[in-house]
Amino acid sequence: MKRNLYIFVFCIISVAAANVWAQDAQPTPTPTPAVTDKQGVSPEDLKGVPAIAPNYSSDDRSMPDLGRVGVDMTQQRSLTLKETIELALENNKDIEITRKNVRSAEFDLQSTRGIYQPRFNAQTYYDSSKSPNVSIFSSNSSTTVRSLVGNASVTGYVPNFGTVVTGSLNNSRVTTDNPISILSPQDNSSLGFSLTQPLFRGRKFDQSRRTIEIAKKNLSLTDTQFRQRSIEVVATAEKAYWDLAFALRNLQVQRDSVRDAKDQLEHNKRLVEEGQLAPIDIVAAETQVANFEQAVYDALNIVNQAENAIKSLISTNRNDSVWSQSLTPVDSVEIQVPRTTLTEAMDTALENRPELEINKDQKDINAVDQRYYRDQKKPQIDLIASYNSAGVGGNQNPRFSSPFPLPCTTNPTSPACQAQLANLSLLTGNPYGGIFQNRYPTFRVGINISLPLFGDKTASAQLGKSLVEGEKIETQREQIEQGIQVDVRNALQAIRTAEARLRAAAIARENTAKQYDSEQRKLDAGQSDVYKVLDRQTALAAARSNELRARTELNKAIADLERATGNSLKANNVAPKVVK
């Protein structure tokens, strides 16, 4: 009995101790099931994946053609930066189109100036008409009238005052069988002059003068657009030139890296023969050679793309011989970095940027419109004046018969008969005598008035629109100036960044070369392995390429600063011309 009690107490103590131990101990993690999709399938058991070229491996170890498509690499053509820019300006299609626009604007100006060119008008014709007789004074059943007409006039302009002056000379010779006509043939002539002078609207400014002024501004605008496009082409040509310089330098680096890799491969083989390296270490060196050989092809492709970019700028067309040539930039990559402050660069940009000149031309054109529409709001009151002198001549009609008694028939000696004879002698004379003797003058002086009854709403609306356009142009100028400021700031900052990148690249190239040499010596001494040497070799190739890339980026940043300040043409001593 006592024994059973001892066993019971021992069991209770054991259970209590187990509970305390379970609370203090760390819980055992539950095993995580394998990752499966929603259907409960593990990724490695995914079904429905087609087998494409299973166990594929390439056994072709032949080298592809090491050349460039359509280019004879032995046919080298040296190319300077200045030559590149000049050819780009000469052959660029956008530049050629802009040249055409300038010439077109010149012809537009010539055309508008022709508005005030004196005009000569002439008219001559022969006319014959036959009509029934409806007059009681003639016994003819019909009347035939034949006319020969010749008229001429000259119209001239006084542009500064809107004055229009016209002189005209009219002539006609009329032949008729009408017996009541005193003269047949009858010559009629007249010489006349007329003047129209605007007093308000059109006196200081009119549509013709507006057209001429706008044509002048458009010519200036197209000139500025031509210079703007030229700056863009110069900047593009500069960048393309330095891109090709880098691409060729990079090709040299990759080619030399292949030589270094093959030298390292031979060196490793010797170390294997000497027992310092395991034969498997040669495999890594062979892989390095293959990788550098591939890098040569990649570099060659970059050269081809950079060269094609330049050729597209400087070639006349797709059949130009330059497409088969290998271009070689010969200018030094060490160009001087401009030292300028932000204030100086901004002042230069605000003075030279074509966008501001274009905005100014647009503002000037708007000012012409405002001037014209203000003038159109004035009342249209024109002074008109004319003078005309006429003359009549010809021969007495042989068929003439008067339906009334004539003084010379009833009393040949009477004063009335004498006056009739004198008048007949004047009529049968030269018609120009009557003109220059001012026998039959006509004068006219007056005013023409044309006014809208409730104000000229059209002119007011057009003026209001031009004023709004002027405000918009001013806002656009502020926007352009801010954009220029951003360009200049970014360009200056890019130069500083590029200089820092070049410094870092130069240090990296120098130190990487030292590390590569050191690693080679360690390998020879058995203190390194071939993989570290190959890593140093790869890093050296990249460092050599990156150094010139940094220099190229600096040159391109300089080109961007020249473009941002509108100084590309002056900096490269280029003066683009419109070919006539």
Residue 431's Cβ-side half-sphere holds a number of Cα atoms within 13 Å equal to 21
Please report which confidence band the pLDDT of residue 103 belongs to, taking 50, 70 and 90 as the band edges.
Answer: confident
Q: Range with the lowest mean pLDDT among 3-17, 59-73, 148-162, 429-443?
A: 3-17
Report pLDDT for 498.
94
Report the mean per-residue pLDDT for the chain: 84
What's this model's pTM, rounded to 2 decimal places? 0.71
Report pLDDT for 451.
87
Q: Residue 478 pLDDT more than 90?
A: yes
Please report which confidence band the pLDDT of residue 396 belongs to, taking 50, 70 and 90 as the band edges.
Answer: confident
CB-CB contact of 154 with 170 (8 Å): no
Please report which confidence band the pLDDT of residue 29 belongs to, taking 50, 70 and 90 as the band edges.
Answer: very low
Q: What is the pLDDT of residues 119-151, one digit of tens each?
A: 999 999 999 998 887 776 677 778 888 999 999
Q: Which CATH architecture has domain 79-103+209-331+341-372+459-571?
A: Up-down Bundle (1.20)
Give the span between the Cα atoms of 256 and 248, in whole angstroms.
12
Q: Residue 3 pLDDT more than 60?
A: no
Report pLDDT for 40.
65
Mean pLDDT value across residues 211-240: 90
Helix (H, G, I), strand (E, B) or coil at 488: helix
Got the DSSP string for 365-429? HHHHHHHHHHHHTS-EEEEEEEEEEEEEEEEE-TT---SS--HHHH-TTSHHHHHHHHHHHHHTS
Rg (CA), the chain: 50
Report pLDDT for 4.
47
Residue 276's Cβ-side half-sphere holds a number of Cα atoms within 13 Å equal to 16
Report pLDDT for 15.
42
Q: Residue 18 pLDDT more than 50?
A: no
Strands 326-329 and 163-176: unpaired
Q: What is the pLDDT of residues 190-208, one digit of tens each?
A: 999 999 999 999 999 988 8
Mean pLDDT value across residues 410-421: 57
Please report which confidence band the pLDDT of residue 51 belongs to, taking 50, 70 and 90 as the band edges.
Answer: confident
Mean pLDDT value across residues 72-98: 86
Measured between its terminal Cα atoms, the distance across the chain in Å is 134
Q: Residue 467 pLDDT more than 90?
A: yes
Please name the residues in contact with 295: beta carbons below 8 A apart, sequence gap of 6 or more. 254, 257, 258, 541
Report pLDDT for 356.
94
Q: Residue 405 pLDDT more than 70?
A: no
Report pLDDT for 6.
44
Q: What is the pLDDT of residues 530-561, one digit of tens each?
A: 888 888 888 988 898 899 899 999 999 999 99
Q: Residue 404 pLDDT more than 70?
A: no
Give the span between the Cα atoms of 394 and 226, in whole angstroms.
67
Report pLDDT for 182.
73
Q: Range with the lowest mean pLDDT among 235-244, 272-281, 459-468?
A: 272-281
Q: Residue 519 pLDDT more than 70?
A: yes
Report pLDDT for 490.
96
Percent of the chain with pLDDT over 90: 40
Please report which confidence band the pLDDT of residue 284 belongs to, taking 50, 70 and 90 as the band edges.
Answer: confident
Better-predicted residue by pLDDT, 415 or 5: 415
Question: In the 8-state DSSP scheme, what is residue 329?
Answer: E
Q: What is the pLDDT of residues 305-358, one digit of tens each?
A: 999 999 999 998 888 889 999 999 999 988 889 888 999 999 999 999 999 999
Report pLDDT for 481.
95
Mean pLDDT value across residues 287-311: 90
Domain with CATH 1.20.1600.10 in the chain: 79-103+209-331+341-372+459-571
Please name the residues in contact with 86: beta carbons below 8 A apart, sequence gap of 6 or more. 574
Residue closest to 329 by CA, chosen among 309, 301, 352, 358: 309
